[in-house]
């Protein structure tokens, strides 16, 4: 073989001699390299066409032989294989790098404070905020250019031009039209963020006419809240523009904005924004008339129900939402099943609406951003399975332009930081009804006097005793918290809700008595001077099974006045409005999301049943604000876990307290349950809520512990079904079913 090749080379006239040495391997190697080298040279030589053909034929043959004959192929240098291998590795490396970068972006976006130049990946390159790295404080104007006067109006409205941490994150993404599911704590400025994003948006010219921002909110009250804020800001803006005492042209250059690009181009509020909610026939008709006159408002705010009503009765030509630039959903998780999210038997109206609206969008348009930007705000109790489900089941997002805000992964599904802020303490009161001998004697006594008859009329034949529920000892071991929250068969929300529903199906009369016990308990509590409840205005939160007027009527017994919440009456400012002489504001727990009650310090919750689920619990507690603006500062949500060297997690900041709320800054929640009904499952539900809320601070309002609580019997009802194991770094653990 070797000799044959040598002959070929000689006959091609390219070489005359080839060094042959005694070592076989050396010959192979040397020959291989030399052959290749000479082959290349021979191709380069200017031979006659015929000679070249012959040359090529021979070269090809040689190459074939080279490939076929292992003897002359150097054992470890197969160039083609090597090349393939390299290409593969390069590809893999590139994919790995892209993955790593994406992960880095995703992680960093959770804590992003602005534009980080170093992370040059697709999503971040889209972010247009070009912040000076040395600048720590960003203002609204860093995110929204061309909105000078509007931002000035917002500044007047909020008393500040500094965004909250949550707002910084969501505004950063919106500058690049990046979609998000944004997790935010109570009072982090979520609602205001959406309002600003809608009002400061300049519609892409290429999109043509249409509704620019569709905002979907849970309740009628919330639509009214959006209406109130948007209308006020718009009016203030119009007034501001009227008062600027310089000619229009100069005014524009002075402000360095193009006025036509701002919302001032809309001639009136109806052109700028419209608000849809279910109401009486006249109001609904009025809403339709406004749409008919102004079919393309810049902003459309609606509840899912009302928009579905309109789309099904009037069709999509009536309301042009087929070409929106942004879809913003406030408190998305409160509109779906809070436990199973989309995996529920019933499709939630908001899901139906999003399916429909997003199908309507014209994806084939040839402008740069055909897919609308979508932002959902969600509460801090949401976990990763929400994003996973939406990814699996829905075509809503363009995932290439999606970055979540906040951490959806958490060790053991416990929150990384508190979700019930530490400006709130909770006292759990148990009410024991005791037969009141004096009243029952009077009732039984056939020979009652007229006076005693009068006295017993309308009075219960029981009195009440109040006790503190035994506070939960959280301990400092994270494994115990996880065990208690997730790993017991009977200690699950689904199990508890079934149990609770059975009780809710009881006869009306039984329920009424239960309710009466709770209110009587509150009346007794209210008398206790040391709690100072008589000097305060209180928020009364009640469950669906009673209505506000019932609660108000019962509360008359305290000789203080109550008012059932009505947004239109300006009840958000109930606690700071000195003109309002009522003492109690009464509201259903489902109506609470997104309401801001400035000055609120004390909440009374009527029974476990009022707390619908974890997210509702966070919402109730999140109504108490420690800041005059109505925000809750970030440091009120401290980290829950402190990972020590041995991988054990120790309690970072929260402890059980047995005080009557000595911290004057703290708000109080009085949760009232009837000892008559309160069983292990109720207690366990609370324990899980308290742990998952971030080890809620507890206080003891009554100073007397409940009688007869058997801690061992309770513990043995909720035994963990799983064990787990820590990895060295203390973060990871593995569940093993026992």
Ligand X SMILES: Nc1ncnc2c1ncn2[C@@H]1O[C@H](COP(=O)(O)OP(=O)(O)OP(=O)(O)O)[C@@H](O)[C@H]1O
Q: Which residues bind ligand X (CB under 6 A)?
A: 158, 160, 162-164, 167, 184, 186-192, 594, 596, 622, 629-631
CB of 401 to ligand X, least distance (A): 24
Tell me whether residue 38 or residue 229 sits nearer to ligand X (CB atom): 229
How many of the other CB atoms lie within 10 Å of CB of 147?
24
CB of 333 to ligand X, least distance (A): 11
CA–CA separation, 213 and 263 (whole Å) = 12
CB of 139 to ligand X, least distance (A): 10
CA–CA separation, 418 and 422 (whole Å) = 8
> Which residue, chain included where needed, has tokens 């802020």?
421
CA–CA separation, 438 and 442 (whole Å) = 6
Residue 639 is given by DSSP the state B
Residue 16 is given by DSSP the state S
Tell me the β-bridge partners of 698. 426
Tell me whether residue 143 or residue 699 sits nearer to ligand X (CB atom): 143
Residue 489 is given by DSSP the state S
CA–CA separation, 586 and 144 (whole Å) = 39
> End-to-end distance of the chain based on CA atoms, in angstroms?
69
Tell me whether residue 187 or residue 521 sits nearer to ligand X (CB atom): 187
- Helix-helix angle 49-68:2-11, to 10 degrees: 170
Residue 149 is given by DSSP the state H
Tell me whether residue 425 or residue 596 sits nearer to ligand X (CB atom): 596
In sequence order, which residues have a C-beta less than 8 Å from that of residue 62 and are 6 or more positions away?
A: 5, 8, 35, 39
Tokens at 616, concatenated: 């509702």
Tell me whether residue 628 or residue 731 sits nearer to ligand X (CB atom): 628
Angle at 608 between CA 603 and CA 613, to 5 degrees: 95
In sequence order, which residues have a C-beta less than 8 Å from that of residue 323 and are 6 or more positions away?
A: 207, 208, 209, 210, 211, 361, 362, 365
CA–CA separation, 594 and 190 (whole Å) = 8
In sequence order, which residues have a C-beta less than 8 Å from that of residue 369 and are 6 or more positions away?
A: 177, 204, 325
CA–CA separation, 44 and 315 (whole Å) = 74
Tell me whether residue 426 or residue 525 sits nearer to ligand X (CB atom): 426
Three-state secondary-structure class, residue 731: coil
CB of 188 to ligand X, least distance (A): 4
Tell me whether residue 630 or residue 720 sits nearer to ligand X (CB atom): 630
Three-state secondary-structure class, residue 655: coil
CB of 546 to ligand X, least distance (A): 24
CB of 697 to ligand X, least distance (A): 19
CB of 239 to ligand X, least distance (A): 19
Tell me whether residue 140 or residue 515 sits nearer to ligand X (CB atom): 140
Cβ–Cβ under 8 Å, residues 461 and 440: yes
Tell me whether residue 589 or residue 596 sits nearer to ligand X (CB atom): 596
CA–CA separation, 663 and 678 (whole Å) = 29
Tell me whether residue 9 or residue 166 sits nearer to ligand X (CB atom): 166
CB of 651 to ligand X, least distance (A): 26
Max intra-chain CA distance, the chain: 142
> Which residue, chain included where needed, has tokens 């579905």?
308
CA–CA separation, 610 and 541 (whole Å) = 7
CB of 197 to ligand X, least distance (A): 12
How many of the other CB atoms lie within 10 Å of CB of 633?
16
CB of 140 to ligand X, least distance (A): 8
CB of 629 to ligand X, least distance (A): 4
CB of 163 to ligand X, least distance (A): 5
Cβ–Cβ under 8 Å, residues 263 and 236: no
Q: 3-class secondary structure for 179-212?
A: EEEEECCCCCCHHHHHHHHHHCCCCCHHHCCCCC
Least Cα distance to 378 among 206, 185, 207 occurs for 185
Cβ–Cβ under 8 Å, residues 474 and 654: yes
Phi, psi torsion values for 512, nearest 5 degrees: -60, -40
Residue 387 is given by DSSP the state H
CB of 695 to ligand X, least distance (A): 20
CB of 737 to ligand X, least distance (A): 38
């Amino acid at each position: 073989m070797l000799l044959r090749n040598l002959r070929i080379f000689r006959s091609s006239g390219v070489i005359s001699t080839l060094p042959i040495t005694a070592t076989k391997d050396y010959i192979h190697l040397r020959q291989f390299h030399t052959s290749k080298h000479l082959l290349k040279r021979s191709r380069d030589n200017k031979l006659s066409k015929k000679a070249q053909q012959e040359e090529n034929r021979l070269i090809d043959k040689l190459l074939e032989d080279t490939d076929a004959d292992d003897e002359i192929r150097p054992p470890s240098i197969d160039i083609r294989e090597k090349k393939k291998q390299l290409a593969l590795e390069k590809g893999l490396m590139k994919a790995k790098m892209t993955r790593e970068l994406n992960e880095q972006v995703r992680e960093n976006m959770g804590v992003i404070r602005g534009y980080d130049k170093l992370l040059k990946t697709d999503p971040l390159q889209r972010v247009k905020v070009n912040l000076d790295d040395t600048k720590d404080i960003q203002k609204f104007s860093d995110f929204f250019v061309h909105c000078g006067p509007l931002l000035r109006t917002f500044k007047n409205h909020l008393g500040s031009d500094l965004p909250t941490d949550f707002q910084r994150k969501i505004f950063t993404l919106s500058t690049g039209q990046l979609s998000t599911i944004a997790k935010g704590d109570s009072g982090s400025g979520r609602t205001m963020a959406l309002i600003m994003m809608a009002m400061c948006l300049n519609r892409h010219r290429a999109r043509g006419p249409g509704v620019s921002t569709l905002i979907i909110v849970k309740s009628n009250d919330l639509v009214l809240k959006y209406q109130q804020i948007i209308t006020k800001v718009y009016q203030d803006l119009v007034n501001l523009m009227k008062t600027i005492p310089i000619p229009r042209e100069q005014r524009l250059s002075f402000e360095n904005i193009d006025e036509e690009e701002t919302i001032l181009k809309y001639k009136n509020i109806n052109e700028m924004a419209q608000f849809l909610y279910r109401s009486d026939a006249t109001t609904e008709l009025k809403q339709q008339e406004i749409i008919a006159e102004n079919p393309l408002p810049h902003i459309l705010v609606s509840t899912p129900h009302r928009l579905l009503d309109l789309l099904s009765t009037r069709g999509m030509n009536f309301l042009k939402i087929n070409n929106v630039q942004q879809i913003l959903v406030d408190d998305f998780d409160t509109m779906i099943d809070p436990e199973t999210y989309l995996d529920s038997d019933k499709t939630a109206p908001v899901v139906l609406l999003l399916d429909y609206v997003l199908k309507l969008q014209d994806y084939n348009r040839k402008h740069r951003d055909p897919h609308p930007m979508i932002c959902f705000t969600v509460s801090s109790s949401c976990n990763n399975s929400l994003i996973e489900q939406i990814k699996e089941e829905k075509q809503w997002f363009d995932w290439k332009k999606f970055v979540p805000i906040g951490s959806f992964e958490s060790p053991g599904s416990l929150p990384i930081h508190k979700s019930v802020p530490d400006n709130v303490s909770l006292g759990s009161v148990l009410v024991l009804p005791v037969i009141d001998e004096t009243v029952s004697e009077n009732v039984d006594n056939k020979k009652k006097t007229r006076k005693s008859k009068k006295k017993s009329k309308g009075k219960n034949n029981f009195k009440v005793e109040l006790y503190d529920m035994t506070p939960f000892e959280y301990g400092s071991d994270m494994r115990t918290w996880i065990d208690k929250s997730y790993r017991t068969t009977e200690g699950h929300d689904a199990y508890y809700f079934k149990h609770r529903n059975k009780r809710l199906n009881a006869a009306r009369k039984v329920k009424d008595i239960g309710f009466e016990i709770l209110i009587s308990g509150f009346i007794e509590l209210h008398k206790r001077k040391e709690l100072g409840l008589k000097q305060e205005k209180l928020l009364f939160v009640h469950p669906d099974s009673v209505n506000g007027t019932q609660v108000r009527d019962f509360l008359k017994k305290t000789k203080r006045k109550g008012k059932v919440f009505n947004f239109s009456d300006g009840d958000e400012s109930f606690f700071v409005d000195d003109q309002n002489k009522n003492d109690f504001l009464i509201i259903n727990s489902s109506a609470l999301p997104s309401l801001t009650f400035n000055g609120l310090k004390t909440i009374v919750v009527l029974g476990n049943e009022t707390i619908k689920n974890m997210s509702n619990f966070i919402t109730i507690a999140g109504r108490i604000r420690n800041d005059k603006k109505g925000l809750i500062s970030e440091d009120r949500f401290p980290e829950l876990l402190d990972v020590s060297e041995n991988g054990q997690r120790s309690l970072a900041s929260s402890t059980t307290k047995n005080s009557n709320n000595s911290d004057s800054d703290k708000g109080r929640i009085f949760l009232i349950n009837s000892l008559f009904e309160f069983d292990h499952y109720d207690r366990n539900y609370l324990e899980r809520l308290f742990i998952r809320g971030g080890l809620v601070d507890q206080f003891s309002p009554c100073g007397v512990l409940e009688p007869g609580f058997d801690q061992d019997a309770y513990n043995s009802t909720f035994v963990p079904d799983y064990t787990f194991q820590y990895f060295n770094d203390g973060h990871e653990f593995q569940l093993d079913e026992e």
